[in-house]
Each structure stands twice: as structure tokens, then as C-alpha cells.
Structure 1
Amino acid sequence: MTDFPKDHNDPAVGGIAADRLRSIIERTERLEEERKALSGDIKDIMTEAKSAGFNVKVIRQIISIRKREPADVEEAETLLDIYRRALGM
């Protein structure tokens, strides 16, 4: 069993800056909560899109494509076209 220091208020327990560690953890927790809220907002938007008759899967593909560099998108589309033709599609 590990013996932990009795004084939890010591600013540098075991060589660790406790205040800095606490700050990092708390900031990360806040960002995770924000991410959770944003994910819910995105889900709501996709539900709205689906209700309006849009294909959510295609919308997600478009969003993914818009994040990429145009040259990378063009190369991928060219290869896809070549592969389709090779397969007679």
C-alpha cells in the first residue's frame, strides 16, 4: 500500500506542482463539457437537416471534404473515377 502525503495542500507534492495539475485537469474537464454540448448541437442540426429532406450521410461527407485541401480532394475524386471505370461502374 502506498503512503500518500497527509498534507494535500502542499503546492508541490512528490515533485508535482499540484496547482498546475489541478488547473490542467479542470480546463480539460470544461472543454470536454463544451465538446459534449457542441456534439448535441450538431446532432440537433443533423436532425433538422433530415427533417428538411436532406441526406445526413451526404452532408457529413461534404463537411469532411470541405476540411481537406482542394488538391487532395481532386486527387481522390480522380482515383475514384478511374477505379469506377476499371470496374465498369
Structure 2
Amino acid sequence: MEADRPMIEIKLAATDGPARITFEPGGTAFSLDADEFITLRLDASLAPSIEVNIWPNGISVWLPYPGESDYIVLDSSGREVARLW
């Protein structure tokens, strides 16, 4: 499925201390320690529809509606840790 369409990766990092990254509207969340990061891999055509909100100790990532595509979350080693929708 991924091989036949262009994909992009968005790095989400906890740069100033521990942070919680939540993917909405599903509510899947990851807790990161300072300087840790995860990567969101998604179909490049969906990138304009992503909304990212940042606040102290947290990031929320609003994804297009369920069923639009698979969103893959990778850890800092590049291993898949979650597939959203």
C-alpha cells in the first residue's frame, strides 16, 4: 500500500523536557522523555490537512478523518510502534 504512493515523515520531539504527543481524533498518546522523538509517516497528499498544536509539555496532532489513510508512528529507531486507522 505505501509503495505505490509518496510518503512523508514528520518528526515530533520533546525538546524542552518530557512531553505527551496525542493523535486526534482517536486519542492515541505517547509520552516522551526530554530529547526523545517519534515520527509520523503518512501519505504526502494528506500533509496539508494535518493540524499540529503545541503547548507546554504537549503536542496534539489532528489527522484527517478515519479511513482516509493509514498513519504510521515510528520510534526513534525507525520501528513501527502504532498504526492509526
Specify if TM > 0.5: no
When normalised by structure 1's length, the TM-score is 0.17
Q: Which structure is richer in relative contact order (CA contacts within 8 A, separation 6 or more)? A: 2
Structure with the higher helix share, 1 or 2: 1
Q: Which entry has the higher C-alpha Rg, 1 or 2?
A: 1
Richer in strand (by share): 2
If the length of structure 2 is used for normalisation, what is the TM-score?
0.18
